[in-house]
Structure 1
């Protein structure tokens, strides 16, 4: 993995110089193998069991260093501090085995208007022997100068006004969850680590990683998912640490719908075949 702490420091020091209206035409590639000890840490903090197949969310952390390098690299127009991860969609074409080397490719694209600013995608693919087996699309929002068009946002307000779904489980989130997930994922964004560092960015307490919340939800369906499927989530509101969240799930025609709530919706997602 790249030294992500240094990349975050670079982002903090150079963010004020970043200006632009276009994404650079750049991408990065890497060949990776799975470290069983690292996978075990990740599985433990996210609630997955240890199996010979990778959790669908795990290749995201293998590619996170490449994603961060692109977003701190030359020509990237937005300062990393202040970007909001608003959505993530992952499709697995078949199970990925722990023993399989993965070829990762990460690129930027689809810069487009959002009602609160502009949004873009970071697309990560994993291939085995030249065959694409896994695709991850993370959508980020850069606030400011947004449009007033309806339907362009990924974090709408309808669910914020709706009654919460009936919970099927309640999860207590410890105060060190952000640090534990950072150790497993490499994502050491200060807003997730300590109350003091989170306050510097406007949060009263540290908040849980969005990709931890997605992984924890997927882990709740372990043993009930097909070999090939997609998990699409929208991140609605930060989850403060420590705290409690209600998890709800319900079957759909070809999968599941699920959500995390406390006093407000934090995450809403769909699993489909």
Structure 2
């Protein structure tokens, strides 16, 4: 069933509700989940917020088209409304964004008016727990211009065996980026995702992280800002390991669409020796067939 909204939901109450309900959730892949399709019609772009997002993520400002990853930010409040409901079986606290696939058929113009829709695609077993997929669409008129599927993992005990790790061949290094400790706070401001693990050292430690970690969607956006993607494109990115803040990372790409973000050379004093060279994000950019 489609539920038409008059505006984007406020995120703070949704995050609070999801946190309060989390201890009562019992995730498993064979249970039910919300079937509503949330629709936000006549959406227009807030230009000041867009410009702030572009600056934080490294995109050029002033382009006529939206950055490739920006519709995810627009759909995030709708996704949080669905995932914070009692009927959503996975606990919001501890939920891990494990991957995203984005397909852009035509770049939405900054000055356009769009229909934004979000729904839960389904649940699936994972070797470490249960995974949910969240589907976001941006339509211009009758045409789907942009769509994505994000997967979120709730860890719990399973009978699955550990996955075998394939030998990794590093991609050629392109650039080294020094990440400030406030990257999580800055991205949280422009995206609305103010998860405590991204904000401050003391809030990150409450959830088992010795220091704040970067948002996965910031890492993908930062990589794609450095990658010249065609207009009609499909991007697949896997989030492999958190990016601690502050820190140094290496952006690498092979010139054939593959990219990755890995830990730097240990130039930052807070970096641990075991973190050097660790792959945080792996992705691929593929042009759509004409």
* TM-score where L is the length of structure 1: 0.92
Offset at 1:131?
Answer: 1.1
Q: More displaced, 242-251 or 22-31?
A: 22-31
Partner of 2:260: 259
Q: Residues 235 and 267 of structure 1 are in contact (CA less than 8 Å); yes or no, is this contact kept in structure 2?
A: yes
* TM-score where L is the length of structure 2: 0.86
Say if 2:181 is the partner of 1:179: no
Gaps of 5+ in 2: 1-7, 264-275
Give the distance between the partners of 1:189 and 1:48, measured in 2 at CA.
23
State the number of aligned residues: 262
- Aligned-partner SS, 1:88: strand
Give the distance between the partners of 2:254 and 2:94, measured in 1 at CA.
34
Give the distance between the partners of 2:74 and 2:58, measured in 1 at CA.
18
- Aligned-partner SS, 1:191: helix
1:5 to 12, 24, 30: 12
Gaps of 5+ in 1: none
Partner of 2:133: 121
Q: More displaced, 51-60 or 22-31?
A: 22-31
Residues 162 and 227 of structure 1: CA distance in aligned 2, closer, same or farther (over 3 Å)? closer
Runs of 4+ in structure 1 displaced over 6 angstroms? Answer: none
- Aligned-partner SS, 1:22: coil
Give the distance between the partners of 2:172 and 2:66, measured in 1 at CA.
30
Q: More displaced, 176-185 or 104-113?
A: 104-113
1:63 to 75, 97, 100: 75
Give the distance between the partners of 1:80 and 1:107, measured in 2 at CA.
16
- Aligned-partner SS, 2:223: helix
Partner of 2:3: none
2:197 to 178, 191, 194: 191
**CA deviation string 1:26-61 (max 9, x = no partner):** 221113210110000000000001201000100110
Partner of 1:41: 52
Give the distance between the partners of 2:260 and 2:158, measured in 1 at CA.
27
Q: More displaced, 204-213 or 112-121?
A: 112-121
**CA deviation string 1:72-119 (max 9, x = no partner):** 013111110111100001000011100111111101023111111111
**CA deviation string 1:209-229 (max 9, x = no partner):** 0000000000001xx322200
Give the distance between the partners of 1:125 and 1:164, measured in 2 at CA.
33
Say if 2:104 is the partner of 1:92: yes
1:166 to 153, 172, 180: 172
Aligned residues: CA RMSD: 1.5
Give the distance between the partners of 1:26 and 1:259, measured in 2 at CA.
35
Give the distance between the partners of 1:4 and 1:174, measured in 2 at CA.
25
Give the distance between the partners of 2:103 and 2:16, measured in 1 at CA.
32
Say if 2:158 is the partner of 1:157: no
Partner of 2:209: 203
- Aligned-partner SS, 1:30: strand
Q: Residues 21 and 86 of structure 2 are in contact (CA less than 8 Å); yes or no, is this contact kept in structure 1?
A: no
Offset at 1:190?
Answer: 0.8
Q: Residues 113 and 147 of structure 1 are in contact (CA less than 8 Å); yes or no, is this contact kept in structure 2?
A: no
Q: Residues 168 and 248 of structure 1 are in contact (CA less than 8 Å); yes or no, is this contact kept in structure 2?
A: yes
Offset at 1:24?
Answer: 2.2
Partner of 2:273: none
Partner of 2:271: none
